[in-house]
A and B are shown apart, each in its own frame.
Chain A
Amino acid sequence: MRVTHSLLLKAAGALLALTTAAAAQDYPAKPVRIIVPFPPGAINDFVGRTVATHLSNRLGKQVVVENRAGAGGVVGTELVVNAPNDGHTLLVVSLAATVNPWLYKLPYDQSKAFAPIAVVATAPNVIAVHPDVPAKTAKDLIALAKKQPGKLQYASSGIGTFLHLGPELFKTMAGVDILHIPYKGAAPAMVDVIGGRAQMVAASIPSTLAHLRSGKLRAIGIGATKRNGLLPDVPTISESGLPGYEAANWIGIVAPAGTPAPIVAKLHKEISLMQETPEVQKQFTNQGADIMRMSSAEFAKFIASETAKWGRVVKEAGIKAQ
């Protein structure tokens, strides 16, 4: 009796393993959609397209990118959360997703909505000032801001954006007061900092690079733990006078919650392979980004810790959820 029992159990186990393995083997059964919840052109879109190209070549089915912009990424995210969790609809997530729960009353519970697959890359900000600002390092900048509280102004691309939260983190960590001037988008914000109407900006490296090279802006430091390949001469903010400051956008791929584990594992493996190709690494360097690697489980924990970190910043900055 006991033998049959254990046999039965084993058989059942084998059957289960077979069906899930079959799920991964049959996957993908049809074209896969990767939803980018932002307009074409920025880093999220770039990651989505790079992953899509790689997966198309490897999985034998078309993988297409669809841009569904709106509400800081909520529109596209909601679409994926409500899609069938069979691995045929994926989402590009980024730092913005960890901020949205603090900005909006979301139509989904974000802590339970995703099956994280893999983080792909990280892209730090660079804090830059108008050349007339006397500060050369983060230490100078903090001293200057302490001397004249609320006098310095920084431009952002709007409430709750990366360009807003990076400086807010800087302010809370350094204990200084710098006035926030929001704009609609990064381009007009940059124009006013170059024109000297605001003094400081903390934007992505590709959007700042040309102005740094032409001397219209001066770099204070990079919001990462190590220096960036595009700006090797610029120190990190930590080196420059505010130890521990880290404000880096990160971009990864998730599926809707409940997506079978073998499919998640298969996609994770493919994205890891992609991250190892030198060509892809070079493409990311050109975008001011670095490859970032962790397991799916670590990625899930990372999303949770980032959500907590930026939640604190949002609260400190006095932004209320709508």
Chain B
Amino acid sequence: MDLFNNLIFGFSEALSLQNLLYCFIGVLVGTLIGVLPGIGPLGTIAILLPITYGVPPVAAMIMLAGIYYGAQYGGSTTAILVNLPGETSAVVTCIDGHQMAQQGRAGPALAIAAIGSFFAGTVGTLLIALFGPPLADVALKFGAPEYFSLMLMGLVAAAVLAQGDMVKSIAMVVMGLLLGIIGTDVNSGVQRFSFGFFELTDGIGFIVVAVGVFAIGEIVSNLGEAQERRVLANKVSHLFPTLQDLKKSWGPILRGTGIGCFFGVLPGTGPSIASFSSYMLEKKVAKNPDEFGRGAIQGVAGPEAANNADAQCKFIPMLTLGLPASGVMALMLGALTIQGIQPGPQVMTQKPELFWGLIASMWIGNLLLVVLNLPLIGLWVKLLQVPYRLLFPAIMAFSAIGVFSVNNSAFEIHLTALFGVLGFIWMRLGFPLAPMLLGFVLGPMMEEYLRRAMLMSGGDPSVFITRPISLAFIIATILILVVMVAPSVRKQREAFTD
């Protein structure tokens, strides 16, 4: 059994003292920022990217991944106790979770959220271990044309499936593409949009854009909104769900996991789509749909499992194909590149300790989260009382130090500030930021692959449709576009927007 050998190898890697420590730090930080509304995993990972320079690649990825799924846990705590989603994915959890808290059943709500998430996380981990290697085998046959077609599909899907206004999503993808072509053209050495700044000849740093838009922009934007924080912490008494609660929950958890895994591998869909879909499904299949909105435990169990499964499965395309399916995965890809690892299928064969170690650490991290979350809920709630006037300046300073430390460049701090302003404006105007980041990451890669494919084929564009794998991606891209134009899908999309 290769799978078990690999997993055992992964666990031996993930259980080393150093990796375990980084895993713990990751989920701790993740829970922390998940609990706090106003700063999400994207911003946090962006801020912490420069630190990962000095850390070995496996430990760095383990920590960043821990932040990501830790935030999914933390987000639900705030949603249940404060009726304020710590993360967007926990919006749905607010509905029934907070009702339960008001009825004095905050404990079971928190517990079932943690149990559901843990189950979903376990399934997600197994799925990656199962589907990763065969996918990577296929991907090893990829040349420039295949990569181009794959990324085209990824980018189109990201623009189409993203929530909110489609025109705005596409505009942001294009914005990302434009930012991505700044710098020296790979094939001719020509300078593009560098305006005589030698600092721009290598393009805009990934960290600069990520920190500027996601950390600074988001914080500034949050300052504009007064938030009411009424904490129902005193009502957390008994923690364990009753037998009846568990009976009601196992179905939703299973279904939520399935939904989360499905949406997880699709590019562009955030965890909120998964949790929302799960909630709708549970409401449909429930015996008493009237319970929903009044503290139905199914309304917590399903969506919580869904958003965690989604978070976990987002790693599949990133690790096997080097294709980021979300903003966070784009950041993870950036982290790999910073470590000098070329993302793609060869990661699994050249760096098996990274791949399997990361997978095993996710399961360990999920376990740590259950242990961490349930007894420490009181502590997390206290954190909500830390005033933002202390928190935000600290984050800002930390971001600036992080950006500077990458290249010792003051120019990049100025650039980060500029992106902070841009990020604020975009957010205020309702332009989604994740598509921009995907365009920024994928655009230059796509261009490179396109031009290399053309160079190698001697200028013959038919390589994209004569090579079978590439053709399959092109057909899929066209299908996605057709589906998008279909009126029924458009209506649903608009429904999601509200």
| Listed stretches A52-60, A184-192, A281-289, A296-304; interface member | A184-192
Residue of B nearest to A196 (CB): B143
| Listed stretches B9-17, B23-31, B188-196, B324-332; interface member | B188-196
**Interface readout for B19-61 with A: 1 if CB under 8 Å, 0 if not?**
0000000000000000000000000000000000000000000
> Provided the pairs A68-B408, A153-B456 are in contact, do residues A183 and B186 lie with their beta carbons within 8 angstroms?
yes
Q: How many residues of B contact A (CB 8 A)?
A: 26
* Interface pair B455/A181, CB less than 8 Å apart: yes
> Provided the pairs A67-B407, A191-B346 are in contact, do residues A197 and B144 lie with their beta carbons within 8 angstroms?
yes
Residue B448 at the chain A interface, CB threshold 8 Å: yes
Residue A175 at the chain B interface, CB threshold 8 Å: no
A71 to B184 CA separation, bound complex (whole angstroms): 9
| Listed stretches B164-172, B197-205, B226-234, B243-251; interface member | B197-205
A319 to B185 CA separation, bound complex (whole angstroms): 12
Chain B contacts for A78, CB-based, 8 A: 198
* Interface pair B186/A74, CB less than 8 Å apart: no
**Contact among A66, A74, A181, A319 with B198 in the assembled complex (CB-CB below 8 Å):** A74
* Interface pair A184/B448, CB less than 8 Å apart: yes
Residue B493 at the chain A interface, CB threshold 8 Å: no
**Interface readout for B349-381 with A: 1 if CB under 8 Å, 0 if not?**
000000000000000000000000000000000
**Contact among A71, A160, A181, A187 with B202 in the assembled complex (CB-CB below 8 Å):** A71
Residue B237 at the chain A interface, CB threshold 8 Å: no
* Interface pair B408/A197, CB less than 8 Å apart: no
Residue B340 at the chain A interface, CB threshold 8 Å: yes
* Interface pair B198/A107, CB less than 8 Å apart: yes
Bin chain A's interface residue count.
20 to 34
* Interface pair A70/B202, CB less than 8 Å apart: yes
Centre residue among A68, A103, A181, A319 by max chain B CB count within 10 A: A181
Residue A234 at the chain B interface, CB threshold 8 Å: no
Residue B288 at the chain A interface, CB threshold 8 Å: no
A184 to B337 CA separation, bound complex (whole angstroms): 11
Residue of A nearest to B448 (CB): A184
Chain A contacts for B462, CB-based, 8 A: none
**Taking the nearest CB of chain A, how far is it from the CB of B202, in angstroms?**
6
**Taking the nearest CB of chain B, how far is it from the CB of A295, in angstroms?**
32
Residue of A nearest to B203 (CB): A184
Residue B409 at the chain A interface, CB threshold 8 Å: yes
Q: Which of B136-159 contact A (CB under 8 A)?
A: 140, 143-144
Residue A322 at the chain B interface, CB threshold 8 Å: yes
**Interface readout for B172-216 with A: 1 if CB under 8 Å, 0 if not?**
000000000000101111110000001101100000000000000
**Contact among B140, B201, B408 with A67 in the assembled complex (CB-CB below 8 Å):** B408
**Contact among B140, B199, B342 with A75 in the assembled complex (CB-CB below 8 Å):** B199
Residue A21 at the chain B interface, CB threshold 8 Å: no
A-B contact pairs, 13 of them (CB 8 A): A68-B409, A69-B202, A70-B202, A153-B456, A158-B186, A158-B189, A159-B184, A159-B189, A183-B186, A183-B448, A188-B342, A195-B143, A197-B143
Please give the residue numbers on chain B whose beta carbons come within 8 Å of chain A beta carbons, in ascending order: 140, 143-144, 184, 186-191, 198-199, 201-202, 340, 342, 344, 346, 407-409, 444, 448, 452, 455-456
Going nearest first, the 9 A-B pairs with the smallest beta carbon separation are A159-B189, A71-B201, A71-B198, A322-B191, A187-B342, A74-B198, A182-B186, A75-B198, A197-B143
